Amino acid sequence: MSEKAVELKGIYKAYKTGFTMKKVNALNGVDLVINKGEVFGYLGPNGSGKTTTLKLIMGIIYPDSGEIEVMSKSPYDISVKEKIGFLPESPYFYDYLTAVEFLDFYARLFSIPRGVRNERIRRLLKSVGLEERADEPLRRFSRGMLQRIGIAQALINDPEIVFLDEPMSGLDPLGRAEVKEIIQGLKREGKTIVFSSHILPDVEAIADRVGIIVEGKIRDVGNLDRMLDDRVSFVEVTVYGLDHDLLKSLKGKVEVKRTLGDRTVLLIDGAENINEVIDYLRSLKISIESVEPIRVTLEELFLSEIKGKTK
């Protein structure tokens, strides 16, 4: 059993909004375990509760009920904060500071000795590709550069767990690739990484496990391959010389995806039908060009979770 990095048990959180102070539920009983050493992708549409969850783990807000543990301790414990790093969503930093001053400020909050501090700041600026801009004030930084200095800030204490809220949003493809590379580098160093996102290909590329949150409730958590494998729901079969009468006899078992000349692409739904249909086609000497299992993409899975149609 892997060690737990973060555990949330039955977390409820509501915000009071507007003039009438109407309560809006942000989290409705969230249970979540994040293991040490994994890259955990936290997925959900806007307003689903991703940021609220991260803010609760950081101790920025307090839960209405439920329990939170970070490395088996309370998230409000100062010793926990020594070992974590956090990049908030759309960070807006002290823009009157230069990149070096900015990182030095955070490093001092960890009481990191001067020698280590200077060395680490230099190394981090290099790893996020900002060494050339070290002495420029942050107010001159672009969105992507701010995101990168934000990541450097989250890593200033060489943390064991790094929490990144939407680290790739608002970045161009190059910027996203750079952030992905940084996350993969952190993984190689054995760090636990928790990041939220709604950019699915990015999650697919780097997360070991994924949690899907919709309307303040966790809909699914698990290994991404497992989640997608579970849903290999149909097979695409391409055949030659299939006529209309034959198709009729297969009604209910296959669906015609498209026809290209005498080539027909069929979709076979349900594992139990696959062998039966193929045997039938072969018995009629129908030539099969290819058989391809179609996996649900994360995007489809995500959309179906949002619509509440799965399971």
Partner 1 sequence: MTSFFKKVWVITVNTFREAVRDRVLYSIVFFALLILALSTVMDIITIGQKSKIIKDVGLASISIFGTLIAIFVGIGLVYKELDKRTIYTIVAKPVTRFQFLLGKYFGLVLTIFVEVLAMGLIFVAIAFFVTGSLDMRLFIAIGLIFLELMVVCGVAIFFSSFSTPILSGMFTLGVYVIGHTTRDLYEFSANFKGTFLEMFFKILYYVFPNLDNFNIRSQVVHGLPISGEYFLFSISYGVLYIAILLIISSIVFTKRDFK
Candidate segments 90-98, 192-200, 220-228, 281-289, binder of partner 1 by CB under 8 A: 90-98
- CA dist 266 and 155 (Å) reads 51
Q: Which amino acid is at 242?
A: L
> Of the two residues 14 and 303, which places its CB atom closer to partner 1 in the complex?
14
* Phi, psi at 160, each rounded to 5°: -85, -35
| Least distance from partner 1 to the Cβ atom of residue 115, Å | 17
Binding partner 1 (rule: CB under 8 A), the pick from 24, 109, 116, 271 is 109
Half-sphere exposure (Cβ direction) of 230: Cα atoms closer than 13 Å: 13
Q: At what angle do helices 173-188 and 143-154 cross, to 10 degrees?
A: 10
> Of the two residues 61 and 246, which places its CB atom closer to partner 1 in the complex?
61
**Who contacts 81 (Cβ-Cβ below 8 Å, separation ≥6)?**
59
Q: Is 193 helix (H, G, I), strand (E, B) or coil?
A: strand
> Of the two residues 68 and 154, which places its CB atom closer to partner 1 in the complex?
154
Check if the beta carbon of residue 40 is closer than 8 Å to that of residue 194. yes
**Who contacts 195 (Cβ-Cβ below 8 Å, separation ≥6)?**
39, 40, 41, 42, 163, 164, 165, 166, 167, 183, 207
Residue 61 near partner 1 by CB under 8 A: yes
Strand partners, 28: 12
CA 222, 27, 160, 191 dihedral sign is: positive
Q: Is 284 helix (H, G, I), strand (E, B) or coil?
A: coil
| Least distance from partner 1 to the Cβ atom of residue 22, Å | 15
> Of the two residues 105 and 280, which places its CB atom closer to partner 1 in the complex?
105
Binding partner 1 (rule: CB under 8 A), the pick from 79, 245, 283, 290 is 79
> Of the two residues 197 and 264, which places its CB atom closer to partner 1 in the complex?
197
> Of the two residues 29 and 59, which places its CB atom closer to partner 1 in the complex?
59
- The first and second tokens of residue 50, run together, are 């991703």
Restricted to residues 155-194, the positions that interact with partner 1 (CB under 8 A) are 157, 163
Candidate segments 35-43, 74-82, 115-123, 254-262, binder of partner 1 by CB under 8 A: 74-82
Q: Which of these, 279, 280, 246, lies nearest to 262 by C-alpha position?
A: 246
Restricted to residues 1-40, the positions that interact with partner 1 (CB under 8 A) are 15
Residue 58 near partner 1 by CB under 8 A: yes
- The first and second tokens of residue 22, run together, are 């109407």
Residue 144 near partner 1 by CB under 8 A: no
| Least distance from partner 1 to the Cβ atom of residue 5, Å | 15
The contact set with partner 1 (CB under 8 A) reads 15, 55, 58-62, 78-79, 81-82, 84-86, 88, 90-94, 96-97, 101, 105-106, 108-111, 153-154, 157, 163
